[in-house]
Homo-oligomer: A and B are copies of this chain.
Amino acid sequence: MSNNEVIEKFFYPSSVAVVGASREPSKVGYQLLHNLIAKYRGKVYPINPKVDEILGIKAYPNVNSVPGTIDLAVISVPAPAVPTVVEECGLKGVKSVIIISAGFKELGTSEGIEFEKRIVSTAKRFGIRVIGPNCMGVYVPKVGLNTTFLNPERMDFPNHGNIAFISQSGAFGIAVLDWAAMRGIGISKFVSLGNKCDVDESDLLNYLVSDDDTQVITMYVEGVEKGREFAKSLRSVTTVKPVVILKAGRSEEGVRAIASHTGSLAGADVVYDVVFRQFGAIRAMGMDELFDIALSLSLQPPAKGMNVGILTVGGGSGVMATDAAVSLGLKVPKLSDTTVSKLRKVLLPIASPYNPVDVTGSARDEHLLQAVEILTRSGEVDIIIWIPYFMAPGISKELAKNFITLIKSINNELDTPIPIVGAATGGRHTAKLSTIIENEGIPMYPSVERAAKAAWALCKYGQWLRDNGTFEEYISKHMRSKATN
């Protein structure tokens, strides 16, 4: 099997053995099996030498006694027993192993380090790839694969979507899944890397670059050990699909904290910054940014330039959006006289036909629709931030639908589509309409500052693609994939 074929088994196994499955609801090995069988439809083999059956499924004393082949083994026995289990997996012909158990290198004890070394050498001997140890494993909603052991009464899992998320922190990874479920963000594949004794970021980047289900790759990283490989992987991926990285350890104190957490060699932050820049990874400075950016890249095409058109129902929000865009290095250009007079003709007399285009709170749907058409066709802006106020009296519930239909039809005619992101501050009514719009492909943010950051990412990624000569290719692939959705 090629490397990618083995990695594929982590995401699409036909059969999964749960080594350390338990009947005891307080145990990890119970919850893990419970979560796995909730949605996964492949074969599941609980492994436990003391019982015949767990949660209604026949149990086996060890992997060797399982009748069929095992594509993936998920191990949650105590650390000292893990090396032997990995050996048994090797003898059984299992090629993909996830080790949930903790008690290895992360403890910093000689015993823990020794156990992990034995796992690595055994895995190498048998050609096994290992995710973990000390991790949450994987979550692949498309096939219901879930190797996490969190109680679903305390968290939700997101639906299938086109964003992959790789996390060096298990707890943070889980929190993000739970948050994504609430936010309505879909995930293609989630991987908790744990101690990274074998499978690391580069392995996953090399796999995900050709994963059709993944449009954007997001990562939480504390430290990368094999820097050269990582840079090489980044270089080959970022010209094909965007990689957004939240790299912790920006400060000396953060690096010290990493040493106590994953023990990664975080190294100087400036090195990461240079590598990200040089190889086209987009750096996020926090969780909100990571997913705000990922969402815009997953829904909208990148921009062909840095000129932002701002279209707003509220003047103040237009000003704040301008500030935010400019502070990120984007341009909010003055519009040509021709465009201004076109806008003036269709807007209310009190509207402001400049950039930001402020249709005002007295505007009706048609003003926003006509203005966005003039802006997108003007050739003077490369991306639009629109700021509807759904509580404004003249804005109807139909605006969302009509706006999206219009944008799609205009973008189908243009040589290069104009991406759009939105900001709508408000409460329940606004949230509801924002969700409708987002489900149709225009990302909506609760503040103009967050929308501006999302727009920035579309501009920045567009520039990267143009610098690397893959802009056209990306756009046509992106538009095709949107058309078939």
Q: Could you list which residues of chain A lie within 8 angstroms of chain B, going by C-beta atoms?
A: 26, 31, 102, 106-107, 149-151, 153-156, 167-172, 174-176, 178-179, 181-182, 220, 222, 246, 248-254, 256-258, 260-262, 285-288, 313-320, 322-327, 332, 334, 349-350, 352, 354, 356, 358, 361-362, 389-393, 425-431, 446-450
Q: A425's contact among B176, B248, B317, B356, by CB below 8 Å, is which?
A: B176
**Is there contact, CB below 8 Å, between A354 and B260?**
yes
| Distance between Cα atoms of A449 and B246 in the complex (Å) | 12
Measured between beta carbons, the chain B residues less than 8 angstroms from A172 are 314, 316-317, 320, 425
| Distance between Cα atoms of A106 and B348 in the complex (Å) | 14
Q: A391's contact among B175, B286, B361, B390, by CB below 8 Å, is which?
A: B175
| Distance between Cα atoms of A428 and B389 in the complex (Å) | 26
**Is there contact, CB below 8 Å, between B287 and A167?**
no
**Is there contact, CB below 8 Å, between B261 and A352?**
yes
| Distance between Cα atoms of A254 and B323 in the complex (Å) | 5
Output the least CB separation between A450 and chain B (Å). 7
Of all chain B residues, which has the CB nearest A27?
B393
Measured between beta carbons, the chain B residues less than 8 angstroms from A326 are 250-254
Top 10 nearest A-B pairs by Cβ distance?
A169-B316, A171-B314, A261-B315, A286-B449, A251-B326, A178-B427, A172-B316, A182-B427, A175-B425, A260-B352
**Is there contact, CB below 8 Å, between A155 and B350?**
no
**Is there contact, CB below 8 Å, between B169 and A317?**
yes
Output the least CB separation between A454 and chain B (Å). 13
Copies in the complex: 2
**Is there contact, CB below 8 Å, between A317 and B171?**
yes
Measured between beta carbons, the chain B residues less than 8 angstroms from A156 are 427-429
Output the least CB separation between A310 and chain B (Å). 8
Of all chain B residues, which has the CB nearest A447?
B287
| Distance between Cα atoms of A252 and B288 in the complex (Å) | 27
Measured between beta carbons, the chain B residues less than 8 angstroms from A179 are 425-427, 430, 446
Of all chain B residues, which has the CB nearest A102?
B350
| Distance between Cα atoms of A324 and B288 in the complex (Å) | 13
7 contacts between A and B (CB under 8 A): A149-B393, A155-B427, A172-B317, A174-B389, A253-B332, A287-B425, A288-B450
Of all chain B residues, which has the CB nearest A177?
B427
> In the complex, which of the residues A26, A254, A429, A447 has the most CB atoms of chain B within 10 Å of its own CB atom?
A254
Known: A175-B425, A178-B427, A389-B175. A261 touches B150 (CB 8 A): no
**Is there contact, CB below 8 Å, between B319 and A261?**
yes
Output the least CB separation between A201 and chain B (Å). 15
Measured between beta carbons, the chain B residues less than 8 angstroms from A393 are 26, 31, 149-151
**Is there contact, CB below 8 Å, between A447 and B150?**
no
Q: A322's contact among B253, B287, B313, B361, by CB below 8 Å, is which?
A: B253
Measured between beta carbons, the chain B residues less than 8 angstroms from A430 are 155, 175, 178-179
**Is there contact, CB below 8 Å, between A287 and B448?**
yes
Of all chain B residues, which has the CB nearest A183?
B427
Of all chain B residues, which has the CB nearest A155?
B391
Q: A318's contact among B102, B176, B261, by CB below 8 Å, is which?
A: B261
| Distance between Cα atoms of A175 and B447 in the complex (Å) | 10
**Is there contact, CB below 8 Å, between B449 and A288?**
yes
Known: A178-B427, A316-B220, A326-B253. A448 touches B168 (CB 8 A): no
Of all chain B residues, which has the CB nearest A252?
B326
